[in-house]
Each structure stands twice: as C-alpha cells, then as structure tokens.
C-alpha cells in the first residue's frame, strides 16, 4: 500500500493528524527531527490507534502502518533514502520552526530551516514522482487584516519573519504545481489550534515559557505561573481584548484528511482557511477555561504585543464547500480537552514512561 509521508508528525498538530490518518486507514511514514517534539507522542498515537505491531526483526518497516524516521529535512541524503525506501503517495508537510518571537531574533535560521526544508522536500517529490502535498500554512499570512471574517482572497502580508516564511513557503509548492499539471497542492491556513485529543494522551507540549495564550492559561490554571498577562485591553473589540478563531486540534486534524482526499481528485493549488468562523476574546477564553478547570484564573492587563491584530477569524466557506469539512467542537470542548491533557501530563511528555 502507498504511504503518506508526514513531516513534523511528532509535533502538536502532526501527532493529531497522524491519529486521524491511521483512523481513516492510511499508512504513514513520519519524518521528524524531534527539535521541538517527542517520540513519545508517536508511541501514544500507536496506543490511541491500537497499533501493537511487533517492530522487531520480524516486521519490516515497509509493512508497518506507522513508521518513524528521526530525520532533519535539511539532511538531503537521509531524506532521499526515505523517498527511495517507501512508495510515497502524498506528503503532509508540518515540519518547521514556529515561534514568532524567536523568528524576530533569529530570522536567518527561520528562513533557512523553513524554506530549505520545503525546497528539499519538493525536490525529492519531483525525483520520485510524488505529486500531492498538503502544506501546513497559517492565518499569520493575513497579518493585520483589513476586515473580518478573513477569506482566502484577503491580501497577504506578514508582521514577523515566521509569518514571512509561511508566506514564502506557500509559494514553493504552488510553483512546484505550476510546473507540472498533474501535481496538486492544498495550502491549509490554520487559525488558532488549541485543545488536545480527548484521550488526554497527546496534546501541546511547548518547550520553555509558552508564547501562545492557551498553553499559558493552562499553566496558570495548574498553578505553575501566577497569572495570565493580557496583552492590551484597548482594542476596538467588545471587551477590549484581542479576538481570535480558536479551533480544536482534532477538527484541524480531520481537515487534513479532507484535504488529502480533495487533492486526490483535483490538480493545481488551492488555499483553505481552517477555522471555526467564531471569534473569542482573551477574556472569554479565560472564562471558558475557568469553567473547564473549576478554578479562578488570575490575570493582569499589560501592554499590547507588537504585531498583534485586534481581531481575526475565518471565513471558512471554501473549506465547507470544497473539502466538505466543518469544525465539530466548540470552545467548551476545546478547553475541557486541553485541561484534561494538562492534568494528565503536567510536564508534557517529559519524564513520562510512555
């Protein structure tokens, strides 16, 4: 059977997508350099999906439903070997650096890693006749939008080097598809992925102090930090705090399966927003998490964070019509599942036996 190559499959969105792929009968080859992820995530994907394969000598990797290669996309030789070893049908490309603040400090490292990784991947696809790719993009390519909801046709602009790498990386598979009419590309622009698998076995495990709102709120709820810093309460929104489109990571994972089916039937390039279409303010998120964990979450109002938009939520019409995809989970389920993950894994994957 042909396999789906998943780069960055041990990460937050990657591990949930691996689960969705396996549940839908796909066989997968995961490539991840583990720079910001854990192999334990994949062990737990196996548990969720009931894969108890003997990975010893009797089972060749080619026969396994989930194989893992610790490999950096910048290592062209190692990547070439993987493409030579398996019959790859399509690629889902998550692997990238993703911290906005770090990208401002180390822009060249971000451009080198994210762009070169994508180029190397497309090069191997070309060499091995692999024609389909789903690319992990971000609503960050809309920068500070002129209006909401944001449609795929909105102007693209970015406010930091991370965002620009997503902007530029979208163009690489797009031109790769332009060069061969048999190729097909889905660019998935994620809004704000939160939540965790309902099992509590896989979830978001940021290293160091989290940059994003939800992981930070979780740590405050768990008593690891004293309070949430709300970046500005003077935005032109009903309660003055920033509004975002939070989406359950399980819904996002399902969107990848829909996109894979879509590019199987269509050629060329299409960009899709993956968001619920609903916006929630920072204060509303704190309230929803208080409800989920049953404890107060202290906060203080601080300065605005440079580059932040007041408001951003998706027009998801295209994903609904073309992918047949729609988000199933609401904000309460997102907070419930995130809290379940936090409670079961207070230190993430660190020190966990499996």
- Quick one: CA torsion of 102, 104, 108, 111, rounded to 10 degrees? 80
By the rule CB under 6 A, 287 interacts with ligand UFG: no
By the rule CB under 6 A, 165 interacts with ligand UFG: no
Burial class (CB in 10 A: 0-12, 13-18, 19+), 50: exposed
Region from 23-31, 43-51, 136-144, 334-342 binding ligand UFG, contact rule CB under 6 A: 136-144
Smallest distance, Å, CB 216 to ligand UFG? Answer: 4
Helix (H, G, I), strand (E, B) or coil at 79: helix
- Helix or strand run (H / E) with residue 40: helix 39-48
Neighbours of 127 (CB within 10 A): 11
Binder of ligand UFG out of 34, 156, 231, 322 (CB under 6 A): 231
Binder of ligand UFG out of 66, 100, 249, 338 (CB under 6 A): 100
By the rule CB under 6 A, 308 interacts with ligand UFG: yes
Concerning whether 142 is annotated as a catalytic residue, the answer is no
Binder of ligand UFG out of 40, 98, 131, 132 (CB under 6 A): 98
Which two three-digit tokens encode residue 270?
A: 């299409």
Smallest distance, Å, CB 93 to ligand UFG? Answer: 16
Smallest distance, Å, CB 350 to ligand UFG? Answer: 21
Smallest distance, Å, CB 163 to ligand UFG? Answer: 6
Smallest distance, Å, CB 29 to ligand UFG? Answer: 26
Burial code (b: 16+ CB inside 10 Å, e: under 16) for 170-208 equals bebbbebbeeeeebbbbbbbbbbbbbbbeebbbbbbbee
Contact code string over 54-93 relative to ligand UFG, x by CB under 6 A: ----------------------------------------
By the rule CB under 6 A, 212 interacts with ligand UFG: yes
Distance of alpha carbon 149 from alpha carbon 315, whole angstroms: 5
By the rule CB under 6 A, 314 interacts with ligand UFG: no
Residue 224 DSSP one-character state: S
Residue among 26, 111, 142, 162 flagged as catalytic: 162
Concatenated DSSP letters of 130-192: --EEEEEEEGGGG-S-SSSSBPTTSPP--SSHHHHHHHHHHHHHHHHHHT-TT-EEEEEEE-E
Comparing every residue's Cβ against ligand UFG, the nearest one is 242
Contact by Cβ (8 Å): 92, 134:
yes
Q: Which is nearer to ligand UFG, 210 or 346 (CB)?
A: 210
State the residues that interact with ligand UFG by CB under 6 A: 98, 100, 138-140, 191-192, 211-213, 216, 228-231, 242, 244, 282, 305, 308, 312
Catalytic positions, please? 162
């Amino acid at each position: 059977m042909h396999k789906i190559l998943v780069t960055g499959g041990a990460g937050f969105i990657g591990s949930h997508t691996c689960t969705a792929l396996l549940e839908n009968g796909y066989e997968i080859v995961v490539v991840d350099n583990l720079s910001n992820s854990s192999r334990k995530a994949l062990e737990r994907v196996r548990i969720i999906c009931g894969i108890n394969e003997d990975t010893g000598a009797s089972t060749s990797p080619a026969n396994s439903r989930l194989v893992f290669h610790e490999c950096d996309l910048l290592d062209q030789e190692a990547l070439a070997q993987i493409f030579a070893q398996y019959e790859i049908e399509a690629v889902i490309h998550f692997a990238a650096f993703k911290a906005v603040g770090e990208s401002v400090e180390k822009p060249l490292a971000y451009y080198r890693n994210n762009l070169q990784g994508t180029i190397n991947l497309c090069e191997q696809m070309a060499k091995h006749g692999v024609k389909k790719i789903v690319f992990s993009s971000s609503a960050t390519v809309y920068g500070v939008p002129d209006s909401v909801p944001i449609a795929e046709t909105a102007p693209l602009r970015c406010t930091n080097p991370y965002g620009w790498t997503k902007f530029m990386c979208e163009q690489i598979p797009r031109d790769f598809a332009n060069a061969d009419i048999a190729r097909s590309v889905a660019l998935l622009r994620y809004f704000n992925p939160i939540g965790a698998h309902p099992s509590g076995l896989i979830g978001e495990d940021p290293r160091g102090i989290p940059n994003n709102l939800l992981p930070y709120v979780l740590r405050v709820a768990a008593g690891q930090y004293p309070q949430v810093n709300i970046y500005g309460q003077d935005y032109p929104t009903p309660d003055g705090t920033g509004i975002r489109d939070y989406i359950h990571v399980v819904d996002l994972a399902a969107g990848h399966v829909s996109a894979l089916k879509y590019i199987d039937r269509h050629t060329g390039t299409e960009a899709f927003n993956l968001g619920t279409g609903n916006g929630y303010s920072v204060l509303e998120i704190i309230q929803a998490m208080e409800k989920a964990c049953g404890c107060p979450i202290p906060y203080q109002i601080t300065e605005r964070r440079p580059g932040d938009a007041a408001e951003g939520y998706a027009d998801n019409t295209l994903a609904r019509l073309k992918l047949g995809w729609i988000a199933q989970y609401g904000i309460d389920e997102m907070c419930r599942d995130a809290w379940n993950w936090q409670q079961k894994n207070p230190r993430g994957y660190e020190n966990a036996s499996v």
